[in-house]
Structure 1
Amino acid sequence: MTLQHMLSQRVQAALTAAGAPEAQAMLQPAARSEFGDYQANGVMSAAKQLKMNPRQLAQQVVDALDLTGIADKVEIAGPGFINIHLSPAFLAQQVMSARADAKLGVEPLPPQKVMVEYSSTNLAKEMHVGHLRSTIIGDAMARVLDFLGQQVIRQNHVGDWGTQFGMLIAHLLEHIEAGDSELALGDLEVFYREAKVRFDADPVFADRARQYVVQLQAGEPQVLALWQQFLDVSMSHCDAVYQKLGVQLTRADVRGESAYNDDLPVLVAELKAKGLLTESDGAQVVYLDAFKGRDGEAQAYIIQKKDGGYLYSTTDLAAIRYRVQQLQLDRCLYVVDARQALHFQQLYTVAEQAGWKPAALQLEHVAFGTMMGKDNKPFKTRSGDTVKLIELLDEAEERAFAVVSEKNPDLPEVERRRIAPVVGIGAVKYADLSKHRTSDYVFDWDSMLAFEGNTAPYLQYAYARVCSIFRKVDAFDAAAPVQLQEAAERGLALVLAQFADTLHQTARDSCPHYLCAYLYQLAAQYMRFYESCPVLKSEGAVQQSRLQLCRLTADTLRTGLGLLGIEVLETM
């Protein structure tokens, strides 16, 4: 049980004893230290319902509130706020418990089988900056859920089927005849653009491409072999990006649209049998009364095109069927661009109407905004082209190397090269994850690589500074008791005790920025502690107690950044 959950339960029990069993505790961390550590705000609404004086009800709640050994002061403020001041002895015990636990005192969530679908690249092309947010947000969520004891299935729902592959195969065959297939696939982005230009401009080429799609769907061996060649080349590009980003996606996590191809006719037949399909201009659609256009007509969710082809809406339905019937998931997170919100709302609705989504299954669209350039337009190269993700990450390393070299010119180059990718890749990831995922954000090299403010380099440096203390002390007793005598010691212990609540909230709302904000708060609180409570100059039990706080701070920073997919260094 987390600290906030435990306090909420105690306040809830006191509200019930005071005659307000339906009231909510509404407990939250206090905004300012003079208001205590936590504040319960549920009394006012309860008093209104009971037609009581709120301060009178607050007093009854305080009288019934059992926080023995937890709080050393509970007071009523204003019209009926209840301020809770935790005792130093209790906070010291929280620190000791966390120090003795491999999970830093973080208890697991109730077990669930959870899929996180993220990255979801189009295998006709190389990964570009538009894939960054899905990849790192999904990776962070998978790591957090895994840490909290969930059975996590990582899924890369790649685009590996459809007309675009007929187009690419037709183009590749001509290169094979000319003897330059390997050269042609050296740059998938260029190859795709060439094929797309021909497809749009040359009707004969377009017809040939469509014929290859039919052969692909029919399993024609040569066409399948060429298709597999595209997948292998494209996935090698993806693997290079995943390795550089340090995300936990492997080939084993890939399950693309093609995996559901055999189920699509079955799916259509089931929808027809259930009376959900209607023909519209030759296409098979499901009309959704819950979604109406401007004309008031129910919107159509297209299942099958008039030429018999399928769409990603169809394969997404097939994926739900597979995940329910074969994987038996409890929760599924789709980490996908916010612009797909309507699609997912309609997808979930069709799945429910068809009886393919159990009531208990949580299907969640983890939406995210757009990475913007300084011109507040989607991030592109100066020439207006899409930025390849691997090139962006290479640039991050080089820029980080320049920053590290400027700050530590005497450091050997080999050491600066070792530090650069950790700082550069961490900076790119943290700059994204520290924003609310639904927000657009401006990509700015200078701000994300800064060693001041809410950035990865600042947190990585904070971790390295804590580690440096342990290289300067003669002895550290890992079992030494914690004594919180100073306000800054107590303040640091309080933030450390809130780590579990932060992780649970991050998992519940799929919002990694909660964890980022916590880590920044922890680093800032540690700096206040370090400045006002000397560690190396203290002695005996005081020094050992402060070293315990330092060690737990370092462990929490390392663990928290690791859950975001960001590495740390003991020296920088």
Structure 2
Amino acid sequence: MAHRLQTRALRIAGVAPIKYNVSLQNYSRMRGRTFNKKTVRLHSDSIKSVQSVESLSERKSALFKFEEDNLKASLKSLFTQAVQAAYPENFKEVSLNECANSGLGDYQFNDAMHLFSVVREVGGCDVKSPREVAQNIINMLPVNPFFENPSIAGPGFINVKISDSYISSKILQNFNICEPRERRVNTAENVNYPRVIVDFSSPNIAKEMHVGHLRSTIIGDSICRMLEYKNIETLRLNHVGDWGTQFGMLIEYLNDEHDDFVDTIGDLQSCYKLAKKRFDEDTEFKIRSQAAVVKLQAGDPKMLEIWENVCQTSRNEFETIYEALNVRISERGESFYNLMISGILEELEQKNIAVKSEGALCIFSSFEGTPLICRKSDGGYNYASTDLAAINHRIKYEKADWVIYVTDSGQKKHFAGIFDATERAGWLERCEKSDVRLSHVGFGLVMGEDGKRFRTRSGEVIRLKELLSEAESRCYDELKNRGTSGLSEIEMKQTARKLGIGAIKYADLQNNLSTNYVFSFDRMLDLKGNTAIYLQYAHVRVSAVLDKTQIDVQNVTPQEFRFKAKEERALALHILKFAESLDSSLQDLMPSRICDYLYTLSSLFNDFYGSCKVIGDDNEESRIILCHATASVMRRCFFILGIDPVYKL
């Protein structure tokens, strides 16, 4: 029976046909895969017990290969060489920032002051001021195509201005940029990347997805898109809550009241609430529910049939949400790991990592905090039991090099305990590869404009399906009221959907992940300011320019790109910063940096559009090239954020 239960659980885990993209039919083949040796080192988050001895910056720099056209990384490499040559005995990791005052330059190296204090303290080097240190570093800078004649400002700031010839050459070089779905970067055969597993979304069976699931789903999807954009093998996993004692009471209630069957998630959720109430008040029902759990776990055919129906009904609703959000994810529920738990806990006991305390099996972490209870005093399993089995399976059988969990910040301590136990068990260590890295991406709550948790007026959590529908409806009404020309009724509804869903996604992603954010339809649908609607209008504007020109950007092979106005240069230079924005976002798992980049790009394009004539100008070809590059990079950003761009309004 136990084997049959596992077989059923495996089949249930992969049943979704469209958005659940890793099928269970391929599961046995997945387990048998072999992987090439990888030299990439990954990073964990700030949990002390999982960090290795090397510096955080060293781990991050080895996390993945930076883009070849990462301008900031290239400049940093030059200054690193110069500092090593000028002061080899006092070398430290260098920093490089964008100039706050664009009149002085584009990038600034400001380590000369600190280096001067180190040199003076150590002695053995005759320098009298930070400016002299800065000059010595400049003297050691290798010849390069990026800039000429760096300058020293203030006490020792080194400012560099990217040469116009370099900007022009890179814009031309990237002119034939393809759409993001067709092109990936770093495709050289000798580049070895990690296999990454991202655990996100994770709704509960028999419950509707609500606004609380929105952040995990959107953030996790964006992180996956960044990884996939860089050709990093990524497995998207949905750790749904499909197992546990609560299913006994739900199954018994369905037995009593609904002939074992309901066909909507709303009915299921209502039944769940009524079942819980009866469980708390009716002793006889409670006993029957507990017996039902035992039967389910033993593989009773009738219990399994009801359970499968409950799971499928829930899954149908989840697919509708994922379809609306354009999110791909593979279901791997708690039931998948159920038969693995006892063996995992036995191993942890044998290694003296899990110990019995007051009848329960606990893991006391190597840092202060509440112990991790991995088996309750009554012998039952819980979230920690399943998470330990899951992380072991992902490392041992899925061959993950990096596992990322995207949950609310309230689970930070829980995952700190899981990560700590994983390290102490030796699961992270591998002989021929770098150790496995673990990261927890925590996010804050979604708040209402009243400063309280975002709920309906009656205090209920807001259903995600209704939230998405309202966003679409508001955008449709706005388009209708504005009298948008050139859009059919069908096109207007499609556009409203893109605008509404994109607005919700962007409003979430642009925030600092760890903080709460206020959900406001009025704010996120505003045409002005840092909103998805503002970005979409900028994209529509640049697309309209490309539609109007007589220059065929798909077939032209430009030999020269010239810019005259300062707005042209500012826009062109920012386009070249896309690679560093992407690398920085992935390095720290912060999609908000892509949002910041895209907003600045849109603002710079609007400045250019307002100041520079494009169609009919003597410099039209160069400006069309600039518009084409702008549109291409915009679409790359939209792709990474999971937002469908609008081409006409």
In the alignment, structure 1 residue 423 sits paired with structure 2 residue 505: no
Identity, % of aligned positions: 38
Q: CA 1:370–1:508 in 2, change beyond 3 Å: closer, same or farther?
A: same
Aligned partner (choices 10, 19, 22) of residue 91 of structure 2: 22
Q: 8 Å contact 1:10–1:67 — kept in the other structure?
A: no
Q: Which amino acid aligns with 2:455?
A: K
Q: Corresponding residue for 2:19? A: none
**Distance in 1 (alpha carbons) for counterparts of 2:175 and 2:587:** 25
Aligned partner (choices 468, 492, 501) of residue 544 of structure 2: 468
Q: Alpha-carbon deviation of 1:110?
A: 5.6
Deviations 1:6-53 (A, max 9, x none): 100001111111114523321111122123111111211111110142
Q: 8 Å contact 1:24–1:42 — kept in the other structure?
A: no
Give the TM-score, by structure 1 length: 0.94
In the alignment, structure 1 residue 398 sits paired with structure 2 residue 476: no
Q: Corresponding residue for 1:120? A: 202
Q: 8 Å contact 1:303–1:311 — kept in the other structure?
A: yes
In the alignment, structure 1 residue 381 sits paired with structure 2 residue 456: yes
**Greater Cα shift, 551-560 or 353-362:** 353-362
Q: Which amino acid aligns with 1:114?
A: V
Q: Alpha-carbon deviation of 1:57?
A: 0.6
Aligned partner (choices 137, 144, 150) of residue 74 of structure 1: 150
Q: Corresponding residue for 1:336? A: 407
- Helix, strand or coil for the counterpart of 2:108? strand
Q: Corresponding residue for 1:100? A: 176
Q: Alpha-carbon deviation of 1:454?
A: 0.8
**Greater Cα shift, 507-516 or 357-366:** 357-366
Q: Which amino acid aligns with 2:94?
A: A
Q: Alpha-carbon deviation of 1:485?
A: 2.4
Q: CA RMSD in A?
A: 1.7
Deviations 1:397-434 (A, max 9, x none): 10111111222355543332121100011101110011
In the alignment, structure 1 residue 504 sits paired with structure 2 residue 583: yes
Q: CA 1:339–1:228 in 2, change beyond 3 Å: closer, same or farther?
A: same
**Distance in 1 (alpha carbons) for counterparts of 2:98 and 2:267:** 52
Q: 8 Å contact 1:437–1:511 — kept in the other structure?
A: yes
Q: Corresponding residue for 1:350? A: 421
Aligned partner (choices 425, 444, 447) of residue 369 of structure 1: 444
Q: Corresponding residue for 1:225? A: 305
- Helix, strand or coil for the counterpart of 1:182? coil
- Helix, strand or coil for the counterpart of 2:113? helix
Q: 8 Å contact 2:509–2:595 — kept in the other structure?
A: yes
Q: Corresponding residue for 1:516? A: 595
**Greater Cα shift, 307-316 or 184-193:** 184-193
Q: Corresponding residue for 1:174? A: 256
- Helix, strand or coil for the counterpart of 1:270? helix
Aligned partner (choices 234, 252, 264) of residue 314 of structure 2: 234
Q: 8 Å contact 2:201–2:238 — kept in the other structure?
A: yes
Q: Corresponding residue for 1:483? A: 562
**Distance in 2 (alpha carbons) for counterparts of 1:552 and 1:186:** 47
- Helix, strand or coil for the counterpart of 1:181? coil
Q: Which amino acid aligns with 1:556?
A: V
**Distance in 1 (alpha carbons) for counterparts of 2:564 and 2:86:** 35
Q: 8 Å contact 1:320–1:356 — kept in the other structure?
A: no
**Distance in 2 (alpha carbons) for counterparts of 1:68 and 1:350:** 49
- Helix, strand or coil for the counterpart of 2:239? coil
**Distance in 2 (alpha carbons) for counterparts of 1:157 and 1:67:** 52
In the alignment, structure 1 residue 64 sits paired with structure 2 residue 146: no
**Greater Cα shift, 108-117 or 54-63:** 108-117
**Distance in 1 (alpha carbons) for counterparts of 2:184 and 2:409:** 35
Q: CA 1:107–1:39 in 2, change beyond 3 Å: closer, same or farther?
A: farther
Q: Alpha-carbon deviation of 1:289?
A: 4.0
- Helix, strand or coil for the counterpart of 1:569? coil
**Greater Cα shift, 146-155 or 358-367:** 358-367
Q: 8 Å contact 1:216–1:224 — kept in the other structure?
A: yes
Q: Corresponding residue for 1:557? A: 634
Q: Corresponding residue for 1:205? A: 285
Aligned partner (choices 447, 450, 465) of residue 523 of structure 2: 447
Q: 8 Å contact 2:447–2:519 — kept in the other structure?
A: yes
Q: 8 Å contact 1:98–1:105 — kept in the other structure?
A: no
Q: Alpha-carbon deviation of 1:73?
A: 3.6
Q: CA 1:387–1:424 in 2, change beyond 3 Å: closer, same or farther?
A: same
Q: Corresponding residue for 2:80? A: 12
**Distance in 2 (alpha carbons) for counterparts of 1:476 and 1:183:** 53
Q: Alpha-carbon deviation of 1:176?
A: 3.5
- Helix, strand or coil for the counterpart of 2:372? strand
Q: CA 1:188–1:73 in 2, change beyond 3 Å: closer, same or farther?
A: farther
Deviations 1:293-323 (A, max 9, x none): xxxxxx3211111111111101111111101
**Distance in 2 (alpha carbons) for counterparts of 1:25 and 1:186:** 57
Q: Which amino acid aligns with 2:286?
A: A
Q: Alpha-carbon deviation of 1:189?
A: 2.4
**Distance in 1 (alpha carbons) for counterparts of 2:184 and 2:310:** 47
In the alignment, structure 1 residue 324 sits paired with structure 2 residue 395: yes
> Equivalences for 1:202-351 in 2 at 5 Å?
202-249=282-329, 253-292=330-369, 299-351=370-422
Deviations 1:365-394 (A, max 9, x none): 011001001111111111101111011111
Q: 8 Å contact 1:115–1:155 — kept in the other structure?
A: yes
Q: CA 1:450–1:184 in 2, change beyond 3 Å: closer, same or farther?
A: closer
Q: Alpha-carbon deviation of 1:88?
A: 0.6
Q: 8 Å contact 2:210–2:464 — kept in the other structure?
A: yes
**Distance in 1 (alpha carbons) for counterparts of 2:192 and 2:542:** 34
**Distance in 2 (alpha carbons) for counterparts of 1:286 and 1:454:** 46
Q: Alpha-carbon deviation of 1:140?
A: 0.6
- Helix, strand or coil for the counterpart of 1:72? coil
Q: Alpha-carbon deviation of 1:105?
A: 9.4
Deviations 1:130-181 (A, max 9, x none): 000000100011011100111011100111100111121111111244xx83
**Distance in 1 (alpha carbons) for counterparts of 2:184 and 2:580:** 11
**Greater Cα shift, 26-35 or 458-467:** 26-35
**Distance in 1 (alpha carbons) for counterparts of 2:354 and 2:135:** 61
**Distance in 1 (alpha carbons) for counterparts of 2:471 and 2:599:** 22
- Helix, strand or coil for the counterpart of 1:367? strand
Q: Alpha-carbon deviation of 1:100?
A: 3.1
Aligned partner (choices 234, 237, 247) of residue 165 of structure 1: 247
Q: Alpha-carbon deviation of 1:277?
A: 2.6
Q: 8 Å contact 1:286–1:301 — kept in the other structure?
A: yes
Give the TM-score, by structure 2 length: 0.83
Q: Which amino acid aligns with 1:342?
A: K
- Helix, strand or coil for the counterpart of 2:442? strand
Q: Corresponding residue for 2:43? A: none
Aligned length: 559
Q: Which amino acid aligns with 2:101?
A: R
Q: Alpha-carbon deviation of 1:235?
A: 0.6
**Greater Cα shift, 260-269 or 126-135:** 260-269
**Distance in 1 (alpha carbons) for counterparts of 2:601 and 2:143:** 26
Q: Corresponding residue for 1:296? A: none
Q: 8 Å contact 1:89–1:484 — kept in the other structure?
A: no
Q: 8 Å contact 2:261–2:309 — kept in the other structure?
A: no
Q: Alpha-carbon deviation of 1:94?
A: 1.4
Q: CA 1:185–1:320 in 2, change beyond 3 Å: closer, same or farther?
A: closer
Aligned partner (choices 589, 592, 612) of residue 533 of structure 1: 612
* Larger relative contact order (CA 8 Å, sep ≥ 6): 2
Q: Which amino acid aligns with 2:471?
A: A
Q: Which amino acid aligns with 2:604?
A: Q
Q: Corresponding residue for 2:269? A: 189
**Greater Cα shift, 343-352 or 71-80:** 71-80
